[in-house]
Amino acid sequence: MSSTETRHAGMLPGGPGESIQVVVASDEEFETKDMTLSIGPQHPSTHGVLRVVLTLDGEIIKDAIPVVGYMHRGFDKLAEARDYRQIVALSNRHDWLSAFGNEIGVVLAAERLMELEVPARATWIRMLMCEWNRVLNHLMFIGSFGLELGAMTPIFYAFREREEIQALMEMATGARLHYTYCRVGGLKEDLPKGFIQRSASLVKIIRSRMADYEGLLLGNEIFKKRTVGIGRLDPQVALEYGVSGPILQATGVAEDARKTEPYLFYDQVEFDVPVGANGDSYDRFHVLYLRVLESLKIIEQIHSKIPAGPIMPGKMPKNLKPPAGWTYVRTENSLGETGYYVVSRGGTEPWRFKMRTPSFHNVSMIPELLRGVLLPDLISVLGSVFFVVGDVDR
C-alpha cells in the first residue's frame, strides 16, 4: 500500500523549511527491472578486447558474463602444423607482455620429450630472462592499474622503467617485444659483452624507483579507498577455478611453480612467495608489487651464478623428432601458470600441443568476483584481475 507523508526537503524548490508531499510506494507496487549492460569489447580496463555482459539491479552487479574469443587465432591448430623450433616464435605472441615466459615452456617440453641435456649456462640465462620479463610485465600492470583508477603518473614512471628493461633485453635477444631467444637445447646467442654489469646496475635503479610506486599508490589514501575490501576472492573458489599467479597468492595461497614444482634452477635461488591476507583488489596489487622485488632478488643471485661454458649442446640433429610420448610442462609465467601439454608421435610436428594459459582460468572466475559489487567498483575489480586478452583467447 502506498502512503503519503510530508517531508522537509532542504534544497528542493520551495526553499528551505517548506514541506513537500512525497508518495512512498511499497515494494510490491514499486517494481524494479534488471538492466543488461554490455561493457566492451573495447574498454580501457580490459587490455584488449574482452566483453563483459552485466546484469544490473540499480548499481549492484547481479551477474556478469565474460564474452571472450575476439582474439582467438587457433594456437593449438597452428602448432600442429609446425616444427618445434617454429612453435617458439608462435608462442611468444599471444601474451605480448611476457613473451619470454611463454617460449620457455615450449622448449622445456621438447627437451623433456627428447631427454636433451641443456648446458648450465643456458639454463641460468633463461632464468635471468624469465625474471626480467616478469618485472617488465608487472610494471605494465602496476602502471595501468593506477591509470584505470584515475592516477596518471604511475604509468609514465612504469614506462620509463620498462623502456630500460626492454633496451637491456634487446641487447641480448635483438628484439624488444617478441624475443624468440630460446632454442630447443639452449639459446640463440650468448650474452653480449657488458650485459651482466648493465643488468646489475639496472636492478639497483629499478629497486630504488620501486619506492615511488609505494608512495604513489600503495600508501595513497584515494587508492586504498577504491581497492581495500573490494572484490574479495575466497581461496577455495580461486583454487576450484584453477586461478594462479598473483591473483591466487593474494588470497593467501603460496602456490608458485617455482617453489612447488621447481623447473630450471629455481631450487638453487632464494626467494619468497608473497601472499595477501584478504584477497581484495588492494592485496592483488600489493602481491604484484612484492613479486617485482622478489624477481629483482633472484636476478641479483643469478648474476653471480652464471657459469662459463657453451649455450647449446654439442651436436643437434637437423630435424627435431621427439620420440612418441606425452608430457606436461608447468612454468610460473608472469600472470600465473602457463603450461604446455604436448603429445608426440615421433614426427617433426607435435600431434597435439595444448597451451594452458593463466588468463583463461583467471577470467573464467570473474563472475564470482563481480557478483554483488557496485558498478563503479567494476574497474577496480577487473583491473586487478591482471590478464591479457590474447592469453585468454589464444
Least separation in angstroms between residue 236's CB and other proteins is 8
Residue at grid coordinates 559489487? 373
Least separation in angstroms between residue 145's CB and other proteins is 24
Q: Which is nearer to other proteins, 161 or 332 (CB)?
A: 332
Q: Which is nearer to other proteins, 121 or 394 (CB)?
A: 394
Residue at grid coordinates 593506477? 146
Least separation in angstroms between residue 277's CB and other proteins is 18
d(CA 244, CA 338): 9
Least separation in angstroms between residue 103's CB and other proteins is 18
Q: Which is nearer to other proteins, 54 or 68 (CB)?
A: 68
Residue at grid coordinates 610460473? 332
Q: Which is nearer to other proteins, 209 or 252 (CB)?
A: 252
**Which candidate, 303, 140, 305, 152, places its Cα nearest to that of 217?**
152
Neighbours of 185 (CB within 10 A): 23
d(CA 308, CA 247): 38
**Which candidate, 139, 103, 174, places its Cα nearest to that of 288?**
139
User: Which residues here bind other proteins, judged by CB under 8 A?
Assistant: 68-69, 72, 74, 76-78, 80-83, 86, 112-113, 236-237, 239-242, 253, 255, 260-261, 318-319, 325-328, 330, 337, 339, 341, 343, 348-349, 351-352, 354, 356, 360-361, 364-365, 393-394
Do 169 and 179 contact (CB within 8 A), yes or no?
A: yes
Q: Which residues contact 51 (CB under 8 A, 6 or more apart)?
A: 38, 39, 40, 41, 66, 67, 68, 70
Q: Which is nearer to other proteins, 70 or 159 (CB)?
A: 70
Least separation in angstroms between residue 354's CB and other proteins is 5
